[in-house]
Amino acid sequence: MILGIGSDLANIDRIAGTLDRFGERFRNRVFTETEQRKADSRADMVGTFAKRWAAKEACSKALGTGLRMGISWKDMAVSNLNTGQPVMELTGWAAERLAQLTPDGHQAIVHVTLTDDHPWAQAFVVIEARPIA
């Protein structure tokens, strides 16, 4: 069963401007160390940050809250499997909200997909509840 769906479209140039203006303060407030390392290792560092920004926005929408109600940017973190597939890990308040949404006898799975085509970065998040066998 689908618990939530969220999408977001971020302007890569706007994220570049925010990084130029606020630098480390912005990076450290919004992105985990893992996300920062991933972006720093990529040729398109800003595009990588923009996709992760969009993923966090999309995830907050899928949780039904948007970025309010105590949710922190770092409560939603994007990493990649060895195959390159992006995955979203929820901690803190985001994990608590996910637990509230998940029916008894079910396991929540957060699906995320990312794409970019300059100047746009897009993310789509689907939160699924699967019965525990």
Per DSSP bridges, beta strands 120-131 and 106-117 are antiparallel
Beta bridge partners of 90: 76
Alpha helices in the chain (DSSP H): 12-30, 33-40, 45-62, 92-101
Distance CA 12, CA 17 (A): 9
Reading the block at residue 130, the tokens are 């699967």
Residue 69 confidence class, pLDDT cut points 50, 70, 90? low
- Return the closest-CA partner of residue 58 out of 102, 103, 113: 113
DSSP secondary structure letters along 119-133:
TEEEEEEEEEEEE--
CA dist list (Å): 114 to 68, 81, 129: 23, 14, 21
Report percent pLDDT > 90 for the chain: 93
pLDDT above 90 for 66: no
Q: What mean pLDDT is predicted for residues 8-36? A: 97
Instruction: Please give the share of the chain, as a percent, with pLDDT higher than 70.
Output: 98
Please say if the pLDDT value at position 6 is more than 80: yes
* Angle 76-78-80 from CA coordinates, rounded to 5°: 155
pLDDT digits (tens, 9 = 90+) for 80-112: 999 999 999 999 999 999 999 999 999 999 999
Residue 130: pLDDT band with limits 50, 70, 90:
very high
Total number of domains constituting the chain: 1
The CATH number of whichever domain residue 12 belongs to comes to 3.90.470.20
Of 98 and 69, which is predicted with more confidence? 98
| Span 101-130, average pLDDT | 98
Beta carbons of 80 and 48 less than 8 angstroms apart = no
Q: Once rounded to an integer, what is the mean pLDDT over residues 19-30?
A: 96
Range of the domain at 28: 2-131
Q: What value does the CA radius of gyration of the chain take, rounded to a whole number of Å?
A: 15
